[in-house]
Amino acid sequence: MPSDIALKTMNAVHRGILALTFGRVGWKAADMPVLELTTTGRRTGRPRSVMLTSPHQIGDTLVVVASRGGDDHHPAWYLNLVENPDVQVRLQGGPRVPMRARVATPEERAELWPRITERYRNYAGYQARTEREIPLVLLEPVAD
């Protein structure tokens, strides 16, 4: 499974590509939109940002997968948003937009997971590597 250092390095490289190309490259990966998710650290209370893909969207709601590459542990960003669901999301280099995160209900996951894994088989592979059920997270716009 990927180490924390490997995951942080991948995020740093991704951010570097975005910076070097002035945002022209890096906002899509494997035909999925890439987003920057900013959570509040559950221990530090400080902002924590991570680059993620969104394999499915429902209107303005973005779905992200808390896979951590099939690791047996949840990613830190997931634990942060469970603790504090008020997040910020940045798409296509635009401004950070406030959103509320919530874990998909069992019924929602049962509907969404097959759609996601049919199109992006890597997620099915991640699920096969771990005994934990990989959560789906819905990032929903905050009403004004």
Q: How do the domains of the chain map onto residue ranges? A: 4-141
Distance CA 89, CA 67 (A): 19
Residue 47 is inside which H or E element, if any? strand 47-53
Percentage of residues in the chain having pLDDT higher than 90: 73
Choose among 114, 11, 28, 7: nearest CA to 70.
Answer: 7
pLDDT tens-digit readout, 103-144: 999 999 999 999 999 999 999 999 999 999 999 999 999 986
pLDDT, residue 4, reads 63
pLDDT, residue 13, reads 57
The string of DSSP codes covering 10-36 is HHHHHHHHHHHTTTSSSSEETTEEEEE
Distance CA 51, CA 53 (A): 7
pLDDT, residue 134, reads 98
Mean pLDDT, rounded, for 20-33: 64
- The Cα-based distances of 7 to 1, 14, 106, 134, 142 in angstroms read 10, 11, 28, 17, 29
Q: Which amino acid is at 23?
A: G
pLDDT > 70? residue 18: no
Distance CA 71, CA 93 (A): 29
Q: Which amino acid is at 42?
A: R
- pTM score, whole prediction: 0.85
pLDDT > 60? residue 14: no
Model confidence at 27, in pLDDT bands (50, 70, 90)? low
Pick the CATH number of 4-141 from 3.40.30.10, 1.50.10.10, 2.30.110.10, 3.40.50.970: 2.30.110.10
Q: Distance between alpha carbon 19 and the CA centroid of its chain, in Å?
A: 20
Model confidence at 31, in pLDDT bands (50, 70, 90)? confident
Task: Quote the DSSP letter at residue 101.
Answer: E
Task: Quote the DSSP letter at residue 104.
Answer: P
